[in-house]
Homo-oligomer: A and B are copies of this chain.
């Protein structure tokens, strides 16, 4: 198994450009998978995805040898979208407002994407890198917002951005039968805990 799959940098031995049809097919598969995961869950038969994408099973397995590879790719796409939303918010609002808005955006993402929570909690080692990816992509944005609020003395410096990120990711994962705003209220409570500067840790 090759150990270099980043592909972000052109090596000395120029690797051939990825064929355009292959790239197109990968996109089609990701789109189809996102749709099918949403309707039939992440355990949907592979054929359902390939049929929707108009491709053969072989193609699916060529690009995503493991099912977890496909799931990861779909989720990482969503995480990217969430991360991309951060700069705009930061530019348009004051830090504390931007933080709140962005946390709402994150909460919405986690709450909507069932497959995300499922993958995260599956215990499958294949998804071990996922929380790392979440941290890597979303950590910096949240970190800067958090630092600004802390510097202003509005928040106790008892949590890292990683703490908060994980806590939101967990709290906002939907549970069957619970009130829809449960996650949001619990996050608010958590932030109240951060604000209570008079309580000693």
User: Quick one: which of A113-129 are within 8 Å of B by CB?
Assistant: 114-115, 117-118, 120-125, 127-128
Stoichiometry (number of copies): 2
User: Quick one: which of A141-185 are within 8 Å of B by CB?
Assistant: 158-159, 162-163, 166-167, 169-171, 173, 175-178, 182-183, 185
Interface size on A, residues (CB 8 A): 44
Q: State whether the Cβ of A105 lies closer than 8 Å to any Cβ in chain B.
A: no
Does A175 lie within 8 Å of B132, measured CB to CB?
A: no
Which of A132, A162, A166, A167 is packed against the most chain B CB atoms within 10 Å? A167
Q: State whether the Cβ of A194 lies closer than 8 Å to any Cβ in chain B.
A: yes
Docked complex Cα distance between A116 and B123 (Å): 10
Tell me the A residues contacting B by CB distance below 8 Å.
41, 114-115, 117-118, 120-125, 127-128, 130-132, 158-159, 162-163, 166-167, 169-171, 173, 175-178, 182-183, 185-186, 189-196, 198-199
